Amino acid sequence: MLDETYMRRCLELAEMGMGNVSPNPMVGCVIVADGRIIGEGFHRKIGEAHAEVNAVKAVIDQYGDQAEDLFKRATVYVSLEPCAHFGKTPPCADLLIRHRVKKVVIGNKDPFSEVDGKGIEKLKNAGISVVQGVLEDSCTLLNRRFFTRVQQQRPYFILKWAQTANGFFAPLKRNKEWISSGMAKKLTHKWRTEEDAILVGKGTVLADNPQLNTREWTGKNPVRLVIDKNLDIPVSAAIFNSDAKTVIFNEIKTEVIDNIHYIQMEDMQFYLPQKIAYQLYLMDIQSVIIEGGAFMLSLFINAGLWDEARVFHSSHSWMTGIPAPEIHGFIEEVMNVDADRLLIYKNIKS
């Protein structure tokens, strides 16, 4: 029970890195000696110190000369296997060995090929006791984006839309009309801060002229991804502003102009979701929210390339409109968001 308690704290810490560490995983670390926590840390930002490094530093900063004796009696809890390779930072397994910690308790084994059990092997070979699989399901859930990218070589795809009570997605004419509440909009902007990118089709841009940023919430703007086969979107559109990097997938050209990246693709009418998924994997984009339109959402649904869907159901109806996409998945959660009802679906095949 104590192992689970400390691992839950690791998960709380790890989640504090959400939106800032991709394509790395979110990791939390807790160091315990003599029945008390003596240091904590989490991976704060891509390219910076890992969770174990920050936790070890916290112990040294607080206890000074006493730190090394404490490490010899310490159990290190970490939500993901300590790395065993030199990347942007040195191996965390080597750090724990150098400080001669007594025991390491791990949530998940790291599936990344440069680690994948090698960190655990290093620790055991150094005589450190290792326990793994504590709250493994919870640790996997937290890093589902990372696991999807490493194991399936594609980003984690989140579908998001709002629909009326009678199943309409958007007006028949190209005019902007809100379906969900202001609270739903704020929540949507919070979600954007947590993911790497946001994807829409040309029709959504022409109809709504969206900014695709996080102006309703404090946090980073996602990379904006737009499907525009023939480059029909005018350069005056809001997606061309300087708020964030914008990637335009098209059949005309590959070019970079300031923060606008044009990427040419062939035969976009065939296997478009699969082509986009592979291109984003190569770009180290680990998670994507797909926000529209109905045709684009349906393309990914029909291809089976989605992991979860977040669908707001409004309490009011329209006489006519574009039908909402049809989705079949496991309803994991239902909640009220102001006047709307939010359903969270999981793709049981992903």
Q: Which of 203, 202, 205, 200 is nearest to 223 (CA)?
A: 200
161 beta partners: 311
Q: Is 266 a catalytic site residue? A: no
Which residues fall in the annotated binding site for NADP(+)?
Answer: 162, 178, 204, 208
Question: Which residues are annotated binding-site positions for Zn(2+)?
Answer: 50, 83, 92
The bridge status of strand 322-323 relative to strand 168-170 is antiparallel
Q: Write down the catalytic residue from 12, 40, 48, 52.
A: 52
Closest by CA to 334, choosing from 297, 307, 302, 309, is 309
Binding residues for substrate: 192, 212, 215, 291
Query: Contact 28/10 with Cβ under 8 angstroms?
Result: yes
State yes or no: cis peptide before 293, omega within 30 of 0. Answer: yes
Longest Cα–Cα distance in the chain = 74
267 three-class SS = coil
Q: Is the dihedral of CA 350, 245, 292, 275 positive or negative?
A: negative
Binding-site residue ranges: 50, 83, 92, 162, 178, 192, 204, 208, 212, 215, 291
Active site residues: 52
